[in-house]
């Protein structure tokens, strides 16, 4: 989780950074995938599953800003296995985007109070 940051304040979108607030009351995998697709303006081919989410986060070419931040004002209320899967997708996307020759940069932000819980779920 070293590439995931923790903060309570949402960063602002600007000419350099596109910020997506995942939102509150996310209680199912379907809710989470739909919220991300909608707020990121996903292409129509996005398939609403973990593999498609990873593909989408590895691309992001339709977003004009080179930096994309996905902000979670609260931790999605998913079962532990789904949280692990979601964190795995985010981690894989962060590792890939870090090597992206187009210069896209992805930032993932969870609330500070979620650090301990996420660490316990992952470990």
CATH number at residue 54: 3.30.370.10
- For the cut 90, the answer to whether the pLDDT of residue 18 exceeds it is yes
Domain that includes residue 69, residue range:
4-122
> What's the number of domains the chain is made of?
1
- For 82, the token pair is 């789904």
pLDDT of residue 104: 61
- Please give the Cα distance from 89 to 83 (Å, whole number): 10
pLDDT of residue 75: 87
- For the cut 60, the answer to whether the pLDDT of residue 120 exceeds it is yes
pLDDT of residue 50: 96
- For the cut 60, the answer to whether the pLDDT of residue 41 exceeds it is yes
Give the pLDDT mean for 30-36: 95
For 65-116, the pLDDT digits (tens) are 989 999 999 989 999 899 999 999 998 998 875 554 455 688 999 999 888 8
For 50-62, the pLDDT digits (tens) are 999 999 998 888 8
């Amino acid at each position: 989780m070293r590439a995931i940051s923790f903060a309570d304040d949402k960063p602002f979108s600007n000419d350099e950074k596109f910020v997506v607030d995942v939102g509150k009351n996310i209680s199912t995998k379907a809710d989470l995938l739909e919220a991300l697709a909608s707020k990121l303006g996903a292409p129509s081919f996005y398939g609403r599953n973990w593999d498609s989410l990873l593909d989408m986060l590895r691309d992001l070419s339709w977003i004009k800003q080179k930096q994309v931040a996905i902000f979670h004002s609260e931790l999605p209320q998913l079962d532990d296995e789904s949280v692990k899967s979601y964190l795995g997708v985010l981690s894989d996307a962060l590792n890939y985007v870090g090597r992206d020759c187009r210069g896209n940069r992805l930032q993932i932000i969870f609330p500070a109070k979620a650090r301990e819980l996420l660490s316990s779920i992952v470990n």
